Structure 1
Amino acid sequence: MENAGDGDFCLFIEPYGEDFYLRPGEVFTVAPEAEGIDVWFSTLVWEGGITVWPYEDGDPTKIVLEYTVTDANGTRLECGHQRPPKPAGSDAAELG
């Protein structure tokens, strides 16, 4: 996946709801951890991002639960990579 736009772009991966942010020009790869799996993706594009559901062998009931996200250098990325800070005055409350 490549961000060819002018602003940050969110890659949101289900079923865990993990988010990764691509800056303009960045490329990320989503791949299964297990070898030999034929991965397909169901996608939903929305303003500022894309949501993907990885699944096996064309069967959307076989969700791929173990996957990696890497950058163009092959560095494994963690959920929240480059996530922008919450805006000041945000109504989102932290539970503690």
Structure 2
Amino acid sequence: MKNLGASELCLFIEPYGEDYWLKPGEALTVGPEAEGIDVWFDTYVSTDCITVWLYEGGDPTKVVLDYVVVDADGTRLDCGHQRPPRLADPDPV
């Protein structure tokens, strides 16, 4: 996935609700953690956000729970990658 827009874009991956933020021009790749799985994607687009579900063989009852997100260099990314400070959780009191 590549952000061709002029502002940050949220990639939201279900079923865990993990978020990864792409700056303009940035690309990320999402795939199964295990090799050899035929993964299909359901994609939902809203303002500044794309939500993705991964399914094995296109079967919506077989949600892929173990996936990886990597940047253009192949570096594995964690949930919250580049999350804007305005969306960060407040510090506990």
TM-score grouping bracket, smaller chain normalisation: over 0.9
**Equivalent position amino acid for 1:24 in 2:** P
Structure 1 unmatched ranges of 5 or more:
none
Question: How far 1:86 sits from its partner (Å)?
Answer: 2.2
- Counterpart of 1:75 in structure 2 is 75
Q: Find runs of 4+ consecutive structure 1 residues off by over 4 angstroms.
A: 92-96
- Counterpart of 2:12 in structure 1 is 12
RMSD of aligned Cα (Å): 1.6
The TM-score with structure 1 as length reference comes to 0.89
Structure 2 unmatched ranges of 5 or more:
none
- Counterpart of 1:29 in structure 2 is 29
Change (3 A) 1:36 1:82: same
Equivalenced residues, count: 92
**Equivalent position amino acid for 1:7 in 2:** S
Q: 1:26-79: per-residue Cα shift (whole Å, max 9, x none)?
A: 000001011100100111100001000001001011000000000000000000
- Counterpart of 2:3 in structure 1 is 3
Report which of the two structures shows the higher radius of gyration computed on alpha carbons.
1
**Equivalent position amino acid for 1:68 in 2:** V
